[in-house]
Amino acid sequence: MTGGTVADRIERIDITVPDEAGRQRTIAAVQKWTWPHEVLGLRAAQVVRPRAAAIPRLLADGTDERGPWLIVPFYPGTNVTNASVPPAVFRSLALLHATYAQGWTDLKEIPVVDADWWRDICLSYSLGAVVRQAARSPGPSLDRARSVLDAMADDDRIAEVLDALPRSLLHGDVHAGNILVADGEGVLVDWGSARVGSPILDLASVAARDSPGFSAYADAWRQATGAALDPASVELGYRWAAVQIPIQYLAWVVETRPAGEVDNALNRAEGALAALRRS
């Protein structure tokens, strides 16, 4: 298979299995060699299937000489725009988040979005990309990125917010490129960023608070839990997501996009952090 950031570790395969009548049938599937937390996150997400139709079915997983692997069906389809994400995706996320809102502490070895995780994202993952790019092509945008990451890594307000936010199991990388749609049905692919954190992190890139997608999510949450979403937690979650998302993707922006887009990402993160401090 081609495309994506881990294409050298993904293979399209066919699996032949007998059906209930003993006839052979072939299932188109994808095998992916990945990190343990992706396997664990997708395995945990199976609890809400098939009610959560956008959660991929995990056919098998294991470990070989290349590392942990998983097999899911091959989902043909096209990517969406934020305005065309099927409501089933938001309902599936609400079911997933509601299921693990209280039980996330049982999800061992899945990264938790806390102050230590944030510091690592800033000073290892994102700063590492900045240092590598600066060695190839130094510039003021990269110098600024170093300064911003250093300052944000140990920001007291960020640590306070991360402690206050509710947590659940997340897909962790919900954006239009990771949603495939065929015949009006959507599926969330690529669980390589599975983690535990604020549920709003799975919504912020594809659904504003006043969007139909958020309304579908809120309705599904209410049906699953018997209670409405807490407005204060939702507000704080969106404010935090506005900080995290530009930094979370900063490594990709630094390595693949023009310097102006690096500055734009830093502007968004700094502006969002200023707003978070005022809240």
Do the beta carbons of residue 133 and residue 255 sit within 8 Å?
A: yes
Break the chain into its structural domains and give their ranges: 76-278
- Give the single-character DSSP code of 176: G
pLDDT single digits (tens) 243-277 = 999 999 999 999 999 999 999 999 999 999 999 99
Q: For the residues 15-23, what does the mean pLDDT come to?
A: 80
pLDDT single digits (tens) 47-90 = 999 999 999 999 999 999 999 999 999 998 898 888 889 999 99
pLDDT single digits (tens) 101-117 = 999 999 999 999 999 99
pLDDT of residue 4: 47
Amino acid at the residue 30: V
Q: For the residues 227-255, what does the mean pLDDT come to?
A: 98
Q: How confident is the prediction for the chain on average, in pLDDT?
A: 94
pLDDT of residue 8: 54
Residue of 54, 21, 55 lying closest to 41 (CA atoms): 55
pLDDT of residue 19: 72
Contacts of 60-67 with C-beta under 8 Å, sequence gap 24+, read: 66/9, 66/33, 67/33, 67/34
CATH class of 76-278: alpha beta
